Amino acid sequence: MSLSSSASISSTAAAGLSNGTHPANVGGVRSPLQLFFPSNKLQKHMLFSAAATKSGSVVVEQGASKSSSAINRIGSLSQVSGVLGSQWGDEGKGKLVDILAEHFDIVARCQGGANAGHTIYNSEGKKFALHLVPSGILNEETVCVIGNGVVIHLPGFFEEVDGLESRGVSCKGRILVSDRAHLLFDLHQVVDGLREAELDKSFIGTTKRGIGPCYSSKVIRNGIRVGDLRHTDTFRDKLDVLLSDAASRFRGFKIDENMIREEVDRYKRFAERLEPYITDTVQFMNDAISQKRTILVEGGQATMLDIDFGTYPFVTSSSPSAGGICTGLGIPPRVVGDLIGVVKAYTTRVGSGPFPTEILGEGGDILRQAGQEFGTTTGRPRRCGWLDIVALKYCCQINGFSSLNLTKLDVLSGLEEIQVGVSYKQPDDTPIQSFPADLHTLQHVKVDYEVMPGWKTDISSIREYSKLPMVARHYIERIEELVGVPIHYIGVGPGRDALIYK
């Protein structure tokens, strides 16, 4: 099988809690820390971490043994670690978070909303598509935190919780929602669609889940936060301001008294159900840090969609890069340790915007079908292309990744050759030294590709790095050489166990 790129090609050969209480205050009762962190969870993590220092040790996990390489990799991670996307999203972050979550006390989302779809599989191979609930939910002893930087659509949140519960995944007492998180209403979703229609051919390509309009409400300071649900006397007035603002801006948005009354009644019911989840997560997270609890931060979307660092304006509305961890959870930068960047063995993106290494036509279709590149949230087909080293190095600079997780390496099996975009040039062949902010420049770059041989072997059942085909190992090691960051995790399939530790 052979794919060709649409970009210009020139072959390149070388170059806590402190007082023992939980801050959620329901009816004046404060829950003990032990409610969230049973002693066996803490003991398990301590044993696992200790085992990481002993080469050749084995930790038994659900009837299976972990290799010493897995123990060393996971056990050596920092108290506060993170998993972030290093392309345009959809890299497979949820799977790694799910695997690592068993060894962390807390898994926390810091930004984004239900536009972040993570597909994971449990130990029995059952598929779960998560949107708001952190991917650590399948691990029974993990507490999941939805931080202040997240925007939360309550109907979707409860639908997700109900779906998990119906499939045997307990959510009770395991999900904490920040009282500072902003509420995303149906009106935001309507406005999202109206805004995209208004842009016509210059549309952003959003998921139409209302994420951008909700963050807009937050920034112009007429947003409504989770904590506002506790004040029914002022909630109606705040909702009226939101609805009136949308109606004044868009002709297609209509409101009336009945709509407002029905929405207020609806959210009164939501407020009652949400109350056990509502928490001062800033206090919770910082007290957990002081108590030496381990925290894994799960990023949504990815750095190339960052509102500041992405291909603006074709970006999301939050900060899915490293800086979003601190602002979205209220924790200080000094406590953040290892950050793992997740990157596909090739590149994809959805929606509009420049994509220098995109493969157009049949070649892109072949890669899309082989990788089943269709959105978890929307089902939209993803645009596919070769791995873009320039963009990846840029993401590594911004985030300071300590290691990378290369996913979907198995998708490249069967290709006669593999190309890697190693540098950019201007149309006149002038080298471009960094990832350009200017979209006009980015849309017209010429990509220099390095061509490598492919492999025919099906690698989806391989679990040891040394057993990968030599050309596959060369591909991995060449990426490490070009980017300057080690690849410690290699995904060779969608299953929970389809991971090689390097």
* Residues forming the active site: 90, 118, 218
Is 223 annotated in a binding site? The answer is no
Is 87 annotated in a binding site? The answer is no
Is 408 annotated in a binding site? The answer is yes
Is 94 annotated in a binding site? The answer is yes
Is 425 annotated in a binding site? The answer is no
Q: Catalogue the long-range contacts made by 117-121 (C-beta closer than 8 Å, 24 or more residues apart).
A: 117/375, 117/376, 117/377, 117/378, 118/93, 118/94, 118/298, 118/376, 119/94, 119/95, 119/376, 119/494, 120/94, 120/95, 120/496, 121/95, 121/494, 121/495, 121/496
The whole-angstrom separation of Cα 19 and Cα 32 is: 9
Is 163 annotated in a binding site? The answer is no
Is 25 annotated in a binding site? The answer is no
Contact partners, residue 314, CB within 8 Å, separation at least 6:
204, 205, 351, 352, 353, 354, 439
Backbone angles phi, psi at 51, to 5 degrees: -65, -25
Is 379 annotated in a binding site? The answer is yes
Contact 406, 345 (CB under 8 A): yes
Question: Which amino acid appears at position 281 of this protein?
Answer: T
Is 90 annotated in a binding site? The answer is yes
Backbone angles phi, psi at 380, to 5 degrees: -65, 140
Place of tokens 């066996």: 40
Is 327 annotated in a binding site? The answer is no
Is 377 annotated in a binding site? The answer is yes
Is 316 annotated in a binding site? The answer is yes
Is 492 annotated in a binding site? The answer is yes
- C-alpha 194: how far from its chain's center? 26
Is 254 annotated in a binding site? The answer is no
* Buried-exposed string 171-205: b where 16+ CB fall within 10 A, e elsewhere: beebbbbbbbbbbbbebbbbbbebbbeeeeeeebe
Give the three-class secondary structure for 432: strand
Is 330 annotated in a binding site? The answer is no
The whole-angstrom separation of Cα 432 and Cα 411 is: 30
Is 117 annotated in a binding site? The answer is yes
Is 301 annotated in a binding site? The answer is yes
Strand bridging mode 403-407 / 487-491: parallel
For the annotated binding site for Mg(2+), the residues are 90, 117
- Detail the residues annotated as belonging to a binding site for GTP: 89-95, 117-119, 382, 408-410, 491-493
Residues making up the annotated binding site are: 89-95, 115-119, 207, 221, 301, 316, 376-382, 408-410, 491-493
Annotated binding site for IMP: 90-93, 115-118, 207, 221, 301, 316, 380
Q: Residues forming the annotated binding site for substrate?
A: 376-382
